[in-house]
Amino acid sequence: MANNDIIAVLKKTAKKQPVFLLSEIIPYLDEPLAVDQIFSAIAKKLPGLGLLAKKTGNDYTISQKTAEETLAITAVEAGRQDASFASQRMPPILETAIEQYIVKKTGKELSDPVMLDRLRKAIVFQKSDYWKPTHQRALKYTKAYSVLGYLAYHFPVYFVQTEHLLAMLARDGLLKEKMTVLDAGTGPGVVPLAIADFWSRLETATATVYSIERSEEHIEAFLSLRDQCTKKGERVSIKPPIKADLVTFDPEKIPQQIDLMVFSNSLNELGGLSIEERADLVLKLAGRLAPDGSILIVEPAEETTSTSLRLLALALKKRGLTIHSPCSFIWGTNCTPDRCWSFATGRNIQPTRLMGRLSECDEPFRYINIDIKYSYVVLRKDEKTRHSYRVPAKSRVLRVSQVHRHIDKRVNFIAAKMSENLGDGKNLMFRLCDGTADKPVFAVVPVYHVTPENEVLKTAPYGTIVKLDGVLVRYNKAHNAYNLLVSRNTRVTMAEVPDQED
């Protein structure tokens, strides 16, 4: 009997029954075969059919593959990733590809002063546009120089930042050995190229990356960089971007089971859309997310953009998605994110050669972009969260929403550390959140009050849930916020096993 006939029977059975024994298909075969004979005929085809086989006595249980295997990074792979992060720069091949693309597009050498000046102007325009309210922004990336300016100024930082986020997703067990990714608003392919680079240090994992972008100039840059930096047949396959507007995009144009959907610095560019309309857009695409897939939304750390991301995350939570991280709803309440300005940070990257050239002018600082600061949220369709911690029923701690009743008193709280140090050389300051407050709350520690009993506040990674015993509550009228003063008598401990964050 031909293998194709066995496969046809197998497919038909799998359509009717999500789980069955391989022996159950024997009566439907033209020629009776033994279970082992059938198995050797179909074994290699099973992954492609989305089926799994499990030895069950002398038989095999066949089931639908609902979750791809989670990517577990080996020690050797982790060593390679660490070495790459230690360099804090883009791969040399990508840095060169960007330079060559600029030379090709402009027809000028990189030393050309007129070309460098036009790049500087494009960067200044992009930065000034960025600080405008979203509805007044004009940037559409229709001009060559706006994309070249993006490649010179934003690309390097966002590329390294994406790799930090991929490492975070891997630590959280949200990446798979074999996965399908969608990058919405891909620009010149920062996320797909970062995936290709990150995966190049893994042994066996594979990924297929789809993307959506509306700017032709960005798509041209994307394809050029992809073709220079990746080869056909590698374990990451980067498909050409789908040219489309995210607002009117038809989700049927992308595969059904996306494992990771990324919106990196793109949703804030949808200036005309309200938070609810952005939530509609994300949910429309989430219709194509696998049941165990993740959505990663990343935005710049700037206050308005960052706060809008939190409002969007809550809107999506209210409409059925789960916030996996970084937020932890430790009292089981929804939060009030109107003034939630929380971002993660990473070590500065090394300036690129091109940044070096651009900074040979009167205002060099304007053209060097090396800070990694970003706000992110990971959302899921299932109920998986990074932290499952809830404040125990008999804890002698207050909800942060009650802080106004305890001004000038010493009290205890449990909250997540939602910033790195925002203070200065004399006082360390960390944003705290327990999901209940409507005004910003900060832990403030004079440097000389840092002791072994409270230093975990300083050293714990972003998002860690800590218990603070004996903080003095102060109201900061100028900022309509609360400061919880940590002294050498305050004890700060981990409320749960630590989680790692880059």
Question: At closest approach, how far in Å is the CB of 464 from ligand SAM?
Answer: 26
What is the full DSSP assignment across 271-320?
TT--HHHHHHHHHHHHTTEEEEEEEEEEEESSHHHHHHHHHHHHHHHHTT
Q: Give the span between the Cα atoms of 32 and 293, in whole angstroms.
A: 40
Question: At closest approach, how far in Å is the CB of 117 from ligand SAM?
Answer: 23
| Residue 281 in the binding site for ligand SAM (CB under 6 A) | no
- Residue 114 burial (10 A CB sphere; 0-12, 13-18, 19+): exposed
What is the number of the residue whose Cβ is closest to ligand SAM?
187
| Residue 245 in the binding site for ligand SAM (CB under 6 A) | yes
| Residue 246 in the binding site for ligand SAM (CB under 6 A) | yes
Question: At closest approach, how far in Å is the CB of 281 from ligand SAM?
Answer: 9
| Residue 187 in the binding site for ligand SAM (CB under 6 A) | yes
| Residue 222 in the binding site for ligand SAM (CB under 6 A) | no
Q: Which of 9, 71, 153, 185 binds ligand SAM (CB under 6 A)?
A: 185
Give the Cβ contact number of residue 153 at 10 Å.
25
Site track for ligand SAM across 250-269, x = CB under 6 A: --------------xxx--x
Nearest to 419 by CA among 479, 368, 322, 344: 344
Q: Can you give the C-alpha Rg of the chain in angstroms? A: 26
Residue with tokens 């750390």: 301
Question: At closest approach, how far in Å is the CB of 300 from ligand SAM?
Answer: 8
Residue with tokens 């971007």: 241
Q: Give the span between the Cα atoms of 148 and 117, in whole angstroms.
A: 12
User: What DSSP designation does 36 have?
Assistant: H
| Residue 218 in the binding site for ligand SAM (CB under 6 A) | yes
Region near ligand SAM per CB under 6 A, out of 29-37, 164-172, 239-247, 417-425: 239-247
Nearer to ligand SAM, 137 or 339 (CB): 137
Helix (H, G, I), strand (E, B) or coil at 39: helix
Q: Give the span between the Cα atoms of 419 and 433, in whole angstroms.
A: 10
Q: Which of 29, 223, 247, 450 binds ligand SAM (CB under 6 A)?
A: 247
Question: At closest approach, how far in Å is the CB of 67 from ligand SAM?
Answer: 27
**Quick check: 490 and 455 in contact, CB under 8 A?**
no
Footprint of ligand SAM on residues 124-183 (CB under 6 A)?
141, 154, 158
Q: Which of 35, 144, 270, 368 binds ligand SAM (CB under 6 A)?
A: 270
Nearer to ligand SAM, 191 or 279 (CB): 191
* Interface ranges with ligand SAM (CB under 6 A): 141, 154, 158, 185-187, 190-191, 212-215, 218, 245-247, 264-266, 269-270
